[in-house]
Amino acid sequence: MKVFIDSGDIAEIREAQSMGVIDGVTTNPSLLAKGGRPTKQVIAEICEVVDGPVSAEVVAVERDAILREGRELAKIHRNVVVKVPLIDEGLKAVRIFAAEGIKTNVTLCFSAAQALLAAKAGATYISPFVGRVDDAAGDGMELVLQIVTIYRNYGFPTQVLTASVRHPVHFVQAALAGSHAATLPFKVIKQLTRHPLTDVGLAQFLADAKKIPEMAPRTP
């Protein structure tokens, strides 16, 4: 499963990239607004840090406006994926983007029916928001499994990008369900490396290492 970082913070992205586990980046207007810098500038910088898909979201909600904005975003770098909301006008734009060879990430997906329509429109990625589904008393991971199953049933090339991941359990469940990718906040990526038994084991190894006598230098 591909691992994307969900962030607009260059420092976070650089740190995650240095771990060697990041395949791409997803952003959204809320994340980018925290930095207070122009969207295109930040996206261009991210593309220089991570050589993989970088989702940049449009803020338009009408087809022609989505197309204009998305085409400008796609010009920033060959790795840019235009992030489009799962609405009627968004699907109209996705269909045209697909014909033009522009990759898309259809976002704010909350049902398998929506995901099926996005795939038919030609989406490159579909982003089911598992955490928000859970918040609404639904089952986010069941949604991922449904989408993966439907796509496999009909051979859709659209990749499932599990989003709104809140904790390591979501991450593992997404992998078990066959999700092609998952996008994670930096704090969740750091949580994935941690386990109390790892900490205990490392502490023991370090303590035992101090008991090993150093080898005396050889006399010539």
Three-state SS for the chain is CEEEEECCCHHHHHHHHHCCCCCEEECCHHHHHCCCCCHHHHHHHHHHHCCCCEEEECCCCCHHHHHHHHHHHHCCCCCEEEEEECCHHHHHHHHHHHHHCCCEEEEEECCHHHHHHHHHHCCCEEEEEHHHHHHCCCCHHHHHHHHHHHHHHHCCCCEEEEECCCCHHHHHHHHHHCCCEEEECHHHHHHHCCCHHHHHHHHHHHHHHCCCCCCCCCCC
Other Cβ atoms within 10 Å of 202 Cβ, number:
10
Catalytic residue among 83, 92, 103, 210: 83
Respond yes or no: is residue 210 known to be catalytic: no
The residues annotated as belonging to the active site are: 83
